[in-house]
Structure formats: structure tokens, C-alpha cells
Structure 1
């Protein structure tokens, strides 16, 4: 529970105030039975030596005191609930924000090894479970401990024989709780593990709902997800049986303890040590303590749930984040990009994905990377934007090594158009503002015009306020790609990357998008990098680098590479030349 204390420590004075108020409320609440017992002894049994006026005045005096004590208890309880709520909300907010910050700062390779739904489930569950536990800890357990201490003090002032009864009962109750609590810990860990897997699986299914429905996989997917829910159900029932066993044993122990106290109290009355009013007060006080203690099993359960959630949160918080240089160098507007013998290998791979790659590109130039599947094109993109770090060699931006710069300022100079267009469920404008929140409507319209989105805007009565649906489901593939290009252009990037931007489009739409890309490249306002499989989309590039198994196989313009009759020529013939031969025949 180190993390729990770490997050509560900044609010320790509020926690202390809440504890004091909770204790005060409990003490005032238990004074009420003592007043009632006093009234019984002085005015219910002793009526022969009092006049009616003395009886009325005396009872009203004690009843007024009881009302005042009850009022103080309620005031203390009200302020305690407010301060506790304040602490719990601040605690939960800080935990969630820190977890969210850590999640977004993780290195990209960590994301490749986990499901996004699992991470979100960890953040939500740790907040919910710890808030419930803190509330139960103070409102039930702490107040019961205060009440028990008050009861023991009250018992000591009456007779020593009551002390062993309380002591034995507390020891037995604590032993039973500790024994069954350890068994629940393992079960709760298993529940959390299965719950996270279920969250990840559901997120994946919803993200790929088009594929699931298109292939008729709805019911197989339901069946697959039910396996997770059944496992969780079985574990929950196992936990429930343990909690019920604990609650039964605790309830039985508390009942025996109450009867033992009652027997001892009656014996003390028989010995003229206690009065009837004191017996009634003692019974009321013990009942007000023992009834909440019957929920001790649920408190232990909440503790184990919070403990398991905190362990998962701690694991998340210790995952490696993107490293920043101690003394970063500011590079200013990007004008030159250089790879110097760059090597990259995935953590679980045995071979290099990129091996001894070197090239230089400057503002105004367009450079393209092509190659067969698995040649390292996608890895190149991730190296360009800093998602991967070179294992060997260096990447230089304006002559400064990537190890000496902060990537976030650099990334704000990058426009990125991917094969799998990532759009949000908001409007066209909101999708563009995602990368440049301060953009005006004029800037939005200008970017859309450059991306050839005029027809899309003309077709919609709402213009830039047209809602796209989740992932841009309301748009065609070409329209989604144009919005993505506009989003890349709106921040006036110094480095513009097109990663297989037309590979998922039909030939006609591909030609339109390719024309847009050629127009943007011709402006020569930025470094333009094209990653492509279809060679017709990169013929205009100033330089084409052909990759094969992570190496540079050949370099040149389209005409030069065709003339060399190497790998590029073979790919060109396969995609274009042979098709023309068939048509001619």
C-alpha cells in the first residue's frame, strides 16, 4: 500500500481532519446511550424520592443534553463526509491523471506489446477500487475501532472482568479475518487479470466491428468473449464463497461476544457492581460497534481488490517511458534530415529490420522508399518520427543527433498521412484542430482545399461542421485520406510523410490522391518522404531508395532505376510493364 500512502500524503492534513471528525462523531454518538442509561437509573428506578417537578426538570435536562450531543455528532459527521469526499476525489483524480500521463509517455514499443483496452481498465479500476476502500476504511473500520476503544474505556471504569471478554473476541475475530483474507488475495489477482484481458478483447472487437460483421463473425466473437466472462464469473463465485464464509464466522464470533458481554453484565448487576442503566448503555454501545463490524468481510474484500488494482497500476507506472536528453539541443525549423549507418532490431527479433541505412534529404526535396513486404519501410517511418530508436548509427536533424533533441517539438513540425487513416468521431473541423487547436476557419478551409476536399464540402450542407462518425465511417476511403492529408497540411509541416497513403484505395481514387501528393511535393515547401508499394505513386520523387531485407538495394530517380534493370525494374515490370504487354496483345 506504499502507492496509496504516496498519493494520500499530500492530503494528510485533510485525512487527519476527517479522522478526527469521524472519531468525534462516533464518541458523541456513543455518549447518547450513556445519557439514556443515566435517565433509566435516576428517573425510571428512583422515583420515590423525587417530586414531579424534579422528575420533569431532570429528564428534560438530560434529554436536552442528548439532543445537543446528537446534533454535535451529526455536524461532525457532515463535515467528515465532506472532507473525506474531497480527499477521495482528489486522490482518484491524481491517480487517474498520473496513470494517463504515464500511459501517453510510454515508449511506442510498449504499446506494441499490449492492448489499449487493458490499460484503460487498469486506470479505471484502480481509481474505483481505492476510492471504495478509503471510504470503507474510515467510515466503517476506523469508526468501529474508535467505538471499541471507547467501549473498553467505559468497561474499565466499571469492572475489570469485562476486559478479557473483549480481548479474546478481538483476537479470534482478527485471526479469522487474516486467515481468509490471504486466500482472497490470490483469487482477486486472477479476477483482475481476466478482467483486463476481457477489456482488451472487447476493445479490439469494437474497433474491428466492420470486419466482424462483414465476415459473419458476430456469434463466434460473442462465444469467444463469453469464455472470458465465464472465467470471471467462476472466480467471482469463488471469492463470494470465501467472503460468505468469512462473514458467517465473523457474525458467529460477534454474536458469541455479545452474549458473553451480556452474561458478564448481568453477573455484575447480580453482584451490585453495575446498574440497569449502565447495562442498557453498554448494550447499546456494543451493538452500535458490532453491527458495522459484521461488514468486516466486505472491508477485507475491498482491501484485496484495491491491493490487486494498485499492483497493476504500479506495474504500469514502472514501464519505460520515452527518454529525454538531459541537455536537449533546439534545432529550429527542420531543413535537413540525415541517416548515418542506422541499424534497428526489434526486441524479440533475431535479425535487423534496418541495416546500415544512410541518406540525406533537404527542404524542397521529395524522397521515396519502396521495396517488397518486410523490407523495412514501416520501420523507417517509425524511426523518422522517433517512435523507434536506432540500435546503432545516428539520425541527424539539422546536423543534431536524435539522441540530443526533444522529439515532441520536432514532431510538431511533422505532417503524417498513414495507410490506416486515423480519424475521430467529431466534425471535419475538429479532426483538423486536433493537430492545431488554434487554427482559424480560414486555415481549415485552406488546408482542405490543398487536399482536394472541395467536392466533399460542397456535398455537405454543414461544411466543415459535418460529423464523420467514429473512425470516419461516414466517408469513403478516398475522402478519409483527403481529410488526413488536410490534417497533415494545416500545421504547415517541415517534414511531410506519406506512409502507403494510397495502398487501400481503388485505382481511380489512387490517381486523384496521387495527383494531390504530386501537387504538394511540387510546392517544395518542406521535406517530403513517400513510403509506397505502388510505384506509380512515387515516379515524381527526386530520389527513390529501394529497400530489400532492411538494406538499400539501389538508389536513383525513376528513369535511372528502370535503366539499371535491378530490383526496382523487376517491381515496375510486375506492376506496370507486364500489364501493358497483356493489354497490347
Structure 2
């Protein structure tokens, strides 16, 4: 309920108007049986046509007024529900954007997509129905019973007895329906996950001729979704016959008892007709209840899923300071930061932060240990090294050695469990998050390009970059000549994920996007793997024109040899470090890597000087 109130509050005026119009429409409907009773008793039964015409005209006019009121109510209800849905989707998107990676990893892409689309649609629909239908039915039921009692207490007695029974039945169905529809939404997550994987990997599926297997996999998930949905709907649909059976029994009782009352001259025809009319209107309202129970159960499940995302911690590293403080680590930040501190969501400021700007790019890892949430073994264990400003450092190791993990700790996408990372002599936890990340150029292992032009994608690293800055970054990334040869140059629009570019071109555009920021630290996560040796050498030489410290994850010995120092990781531990020539002498693992790429004769090869 808190979720609905939070996002309905900005639209409360329109919602109030919709509710007032709904009450007006209901007032007309509840008044009509009384008018009909007056028409019958005072007009038809006495044979006075003037009375019949008068009350008939009143009924027509009020019916038209109720019809017009209902139309305007629908307009306002639709406006409120659409704006509510838009606000919730925006809030969800903002929440996901502000997740730390540790938090983000807890949700699959499919479930986040389902929560932003299907779940929000369920909530949006329940808001509309709440302002148009949902509130109408209970008011019609309660109002019908009250009005029937004002007409004849004895005739309306059956309706009074049935009301509590119906209420208990509905509560039971709603509670059971909530659990079943939550399972439906989870199965929808699974279907969306398979669909997303297939759309993203369509080329691979076709290349391996695996469409038959994928069709079967999707079919199985789709059947599970169908079975869960049928189970949930079956529960709710069984409610309607039970409700109608009880209500039709009450109508039969009213007619039977009313005829006996008329025979005894204790009731007149108009009163019996009015009470029967109220009973049938209540029956009509109950026939809508089955649909409402379904919608409410689904909306309740969706609200729980949406609220879970909205209530999650925002971009605040999850528990790292608390863990280090609890472990008695002397490198933990001040108590205010360890406890979470005060924080400005826009700037990332927390207690203990400083306003200092990163100027040199000196990087130090001091006994850093990190493990991913839910895992026992650390991804990095007791890592210590120092990089001077402007140096180039190559990071090597087998798959799973912890290379990319090390990179992700620097911009605080994750937090270390123990130890300290310092830039320019300051613990990175003391920098405002935005200040820290604005000083870093990060090129991930998978080149990700966005919809738009080539220039748009480069400016994605710095929105206010001038054309000259864009061209300079493209030139340093060795992609400018390629861009100039395109028909529209920098205005060339990219296909989905840059499908009209080669792997090497996408990598170089990603590098240009990082360089346009003029970073103090440049992190290249195997970002030159698709480049030929000559192009890669030119790119590395061009980096000398930038006043930044560069860390390169690479599997190429040629690239590593051109760097000032090499960090060799194995199973999350730093087992060796130093320049190429030094590692050739001191590291058996490094010699095996060199021999595997160039042959044993390369162990005695004189490599060009680094730097």
C-alpha cells in the first residue's frame, strides 16, 4: 500500500476527481431502484400515467447524467494510472542505475525487465480499475444492502446474512491467489530470460544449428508458465460460481418471501421490485469480483516484486567498511564511513570524504582481499603493488585469475573485503564516488556500443566534448581514418550493439570513448585483443600523449613487454611482478607463457625497451 500511496500522491487531485465522479455515478445507480419503486407504487399500480411519465423522465435524465459521469471518470482514471505507471518505471530505472554491482548481480536481467514491464503494467491496471471498477463493486454491494434495508428490512435480511460469508470467501481467495500469481511472475522471468538469451545469441544459434534445442527449451519454460497461470486462474475462476450461487439463492428467497409479504399486505409491489433490483445489482457487482480478485492478486504479487527493487540499497558499496571494521583492519575508514555515514545520493558524498581532485594517478593496492557475495574462496587474496603516475602496467594471468575483478575494485564497482586501495595517497573510499569515477577511463572486456551515431558513442564518455576533442580521442584510438572513410563520417549511425562494425573497430571506439574523458587512470580490460600488432603498437604509443596511468589486461607478450611493469596473477594471488626482462629470469610461469606464444627461442630474445 505504501508503494501505491508514494507514487499516487503527485496525482492525488486527479484521483480525487475520479473518485468523486465514481461516487456520483454510483449514487445514480443506487437511486434508480427507489425511483422505480415510486413509479410502480404511485403510477402503475394507481393507473396514473402522469406520475409514470414524470418518474420515467427523471430516470432517463439521471441515467444520462450517470453515463456522462462514468465517461469523465474513465478519462481521469486512465490519466492517473498512466502517470502512476510512468513514475514507477522511472523510479525502477533510477534504482537499477544506482545499484552497486554486488546488488545488481543479485538480479537477472530477465527479472529486472519483467519487473519494469509486466509487473508495472499490473500495478498500472490495478490503479485504473481501483478508480473505475474496483472501488465501485464494494460500494455497490454495501450501498445496495443499505438502500435495500431502507426499503424493507425483512426483505433485505438475506443480503445482510450473506455479506460476511462473501467477505470471508474473498479474503481466502486473495491470499491464496497472491502466492500463486507470484509464482506466475517468476515463471515469466524465466521465459523472458530464455527469450533475451536467444535474441542476443541468434548468430551463434544459427551457426551451431541449435534452434531445435532452443525451441524445446523455450517451449518447456512456456509450458511451465502456462501451467502456473492456469492453476492461479482456476482458483479465482471457481470463486465466481460460488458467489453467484449464493446471490441467486438470496434473490429467489427475496422473491418468495416478498410474494408472501404482498399476500399478507405487509409489502407492496414496488418495494419488492426495488429490493430484487438491489439484489441483482449486487449480483452484477459480484460477477466482476472474480476478475477483480485475479487482478488484485497479481498486482499484490507485482507490488512485492517492485517494492523489493525500490527498497534495495543504492550505489553504496555493500558492507565492505563494516566488514573491515569488524575484522579490526587498521585500514578501515573513519567510524562515520564504516557505519554508512551521511550521503548525498547525487554526488556520492559520505561522511569522511574529501573534496580533493585526483591529479597524478598514482595507484597503490595495500593487502587487498575481495570475494564475491555468496562465494567462499576469495577472488583476490592479499594483493599489494604500487604504480607510479604515468606508468603503463600489464596484468596477465589465466582465465579466472582475478584480472577483471582487480579492475572493478578501482572505480568501486565492488568493495574489497580487507585492505586499502589508494589513489594519489588517498583511500579511494574517501573520494566522492563521482569524483573518483570521473577520473577513470574504463574499457570493459566486451565492447558495448549504444544506439546513435559514432560521435554520440564517443561523447558518451564526456557529454560536452567538442568536435576537436572527439576527433583527438578517435585519432589516439587509431579509429579516425576508418570513421573518415564512412559515408557519413562521425554522423554514421550504428546498428544494434554496433553490428555494422568489426570487433577491432568496436574496441577502438570504446577506447576513444574512454580517452575523451582525459582520465588520470586508464583501465583497458583486454581491449586490444582484436587489433593487429601494428595498430596496437600505434595505440600504445599514442597513450604517451595522455597524462594518465594505464593498466592493461592482456594475454599478448608483445603488449606486456612494452609496459613498464607486469603483474602476474594466479588464482587471485599476485605471484610475480616486474618488467619483462626481470620476469623472464625470475618467473617460471611467465617463461611458460612466453614459450607458449613465441617458442622457447623467445626466452633468449632481446625485447624492445619498455616505456
CA distance in 1, matches of 2:382, 2:171: 60
Structure 2 match to 1:494: 520
Residues 260/13 of structure 1: CA separation in 2 closer, same or farther (3 Å cut): farther
2:424 counterpart of 1:398: yes
Q: TM-score, normalized by length of structure 2? A: 0.86
Structure 2 match to 1:374: 400
How much has 1:448 moved relative to structure 2?
Answer: 2.1
- SS of match in other structure, 2:493: coil
Residues 565/282 of structure 1: CA separation in 2 closer, same or farther (3 Å cut): closer
Summarize the alignment of residues 163-202 of structure 1 with structure 2, pairs less than 5 Å apart.
163-202=156-195
How much has 1:130 moved relative to structure 2?
Answer: 1.7
Q: Which moved more, 1:419-428 or 1:30-39?
A: 30-39
How much has 1:59 moved relative to structure 2?
Answer: 5.2
1:346 alignment partner, one of 344, 364, 372: 372
Q: TM-score, normalized by length of structure 1? A: 0.89
Structure 2 match to 1:447: 473
2:308 counterpart of 1:315: yes
CA distance in 2, matches of 1:582, 1:354: 32
Cα offsets for 1:51-108 (capped at 9, x unmatched): xxxx55x555444533442344244334433333333233322322222222222221
How many residue pairs are counted as aligned between the two chains? 572
How much has 1:518 moved relative to structure 2?
Answer: 1.3
Structure 2 match to 1:100: 93
Cα offsets for 1:235-293 (capped at 9, x unmatched): 22222322332121122222222222333333333333443334444444433332132
2:341 counterpart of 1:329: no
Summarize the alignment of residues 36-185 of structure 1 with structure 2, pairs less than 5 Å apart.
36-47=36-47, 55-56=49-50, 58=51, 61-185=54-178
Which of the pair has the greater relative contact order for Cα pairs under 8 Å at 6+ separation?
1
How much has 1:116 moved relative to structure 2?
Answer: 0.7
CA contact (8 A) 1:482 1:513 kept: no
Cα offsets for 1:537-565 (capped at 9, x unmatched): 13221222222333333332223333446
2:564 counterpart of 1:542: yes
CA distance in 2, matches of 1:468, 1:486: 15
CA distance in 1, matches of 2:538, 2:224: 52
Gapped regions of structure 1 (runs ≥ 5): none
Cα offsets for 1:141-169 (capped at 9, x unmatched): 42233233333333233322023211122
CA contact (8 A) 2:576 2:587 kept: no
Cα offsets for 1:291-327 (capped at 9, x unmatched): 1321211211111111111222233334443325334
CA contact (8 A) 2:155 2:272 kept: no
CA contact (8 A) 1:121 1:199 kept: yes
How much has 1:120 moved relative to structure 2?
Answer: 1.3
CA contact (8 A) 1:331 1:400 kept: no
Cα offsets for 1:327-361 (capped at 9, x unmatched): 43223144232222212122333333222322333
Residues 239/45 of structure 1: CA separation in 2 closer, same or farther (3 Å cut): same
2:549 counterpart of 1:527: yes
Structure 2 match to 1:3: 3
2:600 counterpart of 1:575: no
RMSD of the alignment, in Å? 2.8
CA distance in 2, matches of 1:239, 1:481: 48
- SS of match in other structure, 2:365: strand
CA distance in 1, matches of 2:578, 2:165: 84
How much has 1:230 moved relative to structure 2?
Answer: 0.6
How much has 1:202 moved relative to structure 2?
Answer: 1.9
Residues 199/355 of structure 1: CA separation in 2 closer, same or farther (3 Å cut): same
